[in-house]
Chains A and B, each alone.
Chain A
Amino acid sequence: MALVKARKNGEATPATAAEGGDPLTWLEDADPARRRRAAHALGERPDAVPALSARLAREEDPSVRETLLTALVRTGTAAAAAALVPHLASEDVGLRNGVIESLQQMPAAVVMPEVAPLLTAGDSDLRIFAAQLIGKLPHPDRLDLLAGVIDRDPHVNVCLSAVEALMESGDPAALPVVERLGARFPDDPFVTFSVDAARRLFSGA
């Protein structure tokens, strides 16, 4: 028979323990596997947030980057959220998407104070990311913040991102807010379309 009895590693210990020392010291190792193991081990350590964040800014290996992001999410601290937010401005789409996904998986209470200020950033792309993120955070200020964007942001695409986030919330209280956008941009066909879609959604038609 071609099946043979398996031979596991016996009393294996995690590589982090077997390698000894502080994982912080091998976060910059040349071997991606070792960096990944370091990041994995540091997910329980809030003091490692600056090092994880610094490595994330330079990391090019996707598997290590993913583990760095997961470690920062795992710490779940305000410092970790603050460390992730600057990467939203990255030109690297993969990193940006990973950061958005990671912030969505962190406690809303620590993410919101870091992300809400981005709603007034000079870069409209950052404001769009912020609106998207805030739309997914289970936070009591979410609807008010998105309504503020719709009422005040000068860029129609930012407003439409907020509309999309509000519509996903499913809260009928969002409808008057969305309708106000129609008054601000009466000649924009996509705004007209979005307002109509919101009316259909919230009226159940």
Chain B
Amino acid sequence: MSLPSDKGDAAGLSAADYDAFCRFLRERTGLSFTEAKRYFVDRRVSERMAAVGVDHFRQYLNLLRFQASGEELQLLVNRMTVNETYFFREMYQLDCLVNAALDEVVRGREPGSRVRIWSAGCATGEEPYSIAITLLERWSRVDEFEIELYASDIDSHVLERAQEGIYEERSLQAMPRDLVAKYFTRLDDQRWQIMEELRDSIDFSLVNIADPRQMANFRGMDVIFCRNLLIYFDDLGRREATSMFYDALSPCGFICLGHSESMSRMSSLFVPRRFPDAILYQKPQS
């Protein structure tokens, strides 16, 4: 089987095949692709079909459905999700975190108690490491509490890269140079690695947020960052995901969405809170 060129026709899934594939992917992962994404999907499916030496799409779909290890589905998902990000992206929400939200979260808590922050859809790790550095540098009460940082993604490859913590200059361009020097080790002309102490402080895990069993691991979160992840879900998938985030959050906990995402179009469970730096969404007290 030959791969389609960038300018060529799509890989050749029939309308029924494409529909069957999208339904399957939606049910298993929550990822949702419309007809408009057909070329994107076709190309990635044909790449994987070529990689495993399968000529017929139905045969490949059966492999995805019935492979006991789930390995091929994972590899395909890795190709279907885009993981382009950089340090200190959408900094206004990190400003909001340290200027206002965390102070509210810990109000009334004893010194030494836990604060839990989760970066869902963390890709190659820029977001959780940015949160960690921002906390250490800018939250005045950081030493009073034991802060747990969780990071998860559905893509196993990017998680490995996140744990490795090696980045090129492009990822660090928005970061002040003194912080790069403080938290990274230069490996060569092109690459920097984040310090081991930070790498070890974050709990990275492979999580499909459409899977209630996996989501049950996450409870008592104070802040969830879920930025630019739900854009891959359809309306129902977004409702279900926000419902599971609701269960994962502590009362009065906050969820941070990407700048183009609005909770009002996904769920009425959360209360929008306008802070000087950003709008966050809060789980009500009861």
Contact = CB atoms under 8 A, between A and B. Distances in A.
B217 A9 contact: yes
Given A2-B147, A105-B235, A8 B132 contact: no
A40 interface: yes
B118 to A, nearest CB: 9
B240 interface: yes
Contacts of B150: 6, 8
B143 A6 contact: no
Contacts of A32: 286
A32 B269 CA distance: 13
Interface stretch (A66-74, A83-91, A154-162, A164-172): A66-74
Interface string B132-156: 1001100000111111111000000
B81 interface: no
A3 B216 contact: no
A111 to B, nearest CB: 13
Nearest to A104: B235
Contacts of A14: 212-213, 215-216
Given A70-B239, A73-B236, A1 B201 contact: yes
Interface string B195-212: 001101111010000001
A175 to B, nearest CB: 27
A66 B269 contact: yes
B74 interface: no
What DSSP secondary structure best describes chain A's contact surface?
helix
B268 interface: yes
Contact of A74 (B219, B240, B269): B240
Contacts of B145: 2
A182 B202 CA distance: 65
Given A7-B148, A94-B268, A66 B213 contact: no
Contact of A98 (B116, B144, B243, B268): B268
Given A62-B268, A63-B246, A5 B203 contact: yes
A73 B216 contact: no
Contact of A4 (B148, B198, B216, B246): B148
Interface in A1-30: 1-10, 12-17
A36 interface: yes
Contact of B136 (A2, A5, A70, A73): A2
Interface of A: 1-10, 12-17, 32-33, 36-37, 40-41, 43, 62-63, 66-67, 70, 73-74, 94, 98, 104-105
Interface of B: 114, 116, 132, 135-136, 142-150, 197-198, 200-203, 205, 212-213, 215-219, 235-236, 239-240, 243-244, 246-247, 267-269, 284, 286
28 contacts: A1-B201, A2-B136, A3-B132, A3-B136, A3-B148, A4-B147, A4-B148, A5-B148, A5-B200, A6-B149, A8-B150, A8-B203, A12-B216, A17-B213, A32-B286, A62-B268, A62-B284, A63-B284, A66-B268, A67-B243, A70-B236, A70-B240, A73-B236, A73-B239, A74-B240, A98-B268, A104-B235, A105-B235
Given A2-B142, A9-B217, A9-B218, 17 more contacts: A1-B201, A2-B143, A2-B144, A3-B147, A3-B198, A5-B203, A8-B150, A8-B205, A15-B216, A41-B212, A66-B239, A66-B243, A66-B268, A73-B239, A94-B268, A104-B235, A105-B239
